[in-house]
Structure 1
């Protein structure tokens, strides 16, 4: 079964959803966050050394790869090439993605 993808504008919406998923009993191993490298999202994916503890505690993996690396990651999750392109475009437009397995 293909994972669910939710798109967020900022870390507050993401954090609220992560808390919701956790309260529903969803394992952190089933939650994966994707964000592109810009100042606003670096901390979400853990690259600034001060990732919000709540986010780090609630997800299994956080990704901040470039386009060609993302394609491989999205393929591992079962997304087709056109779906991967759509997800990459969302990231390029500053969105944050939560992939729920």
Structure 2
């Protein structure tokens, strides 16, 4: 029984502290600020997602470019090898 009272007391103190903190931080417009915070979090999430997508596209472009350069180098090496193997006319 004493533990129930202690846990209830601790919970009520936690709730009271959270309410006091919210009142201090947000004032009278506490409910409106939480909606603004939610919108801010949504926009932050969209911005982070956009940055991640741009990073993936950039990485893909870089890989494609490097692969293309590697293929060109291999073609040039093959051409040079073929030219060295052919006797002059």
TM-score calculated relative to the size of structure 2: 0.19
Q: Higher strand proportion, which one?
A: 1
Higher relative contact order (CA 8 A, sep 6+): 1
Higher helix share: 2
Q: Higher Cα Rg: structure 1 or 2?
A: 2
TM-score, structure 1 length as denominator? Answer: 0.17
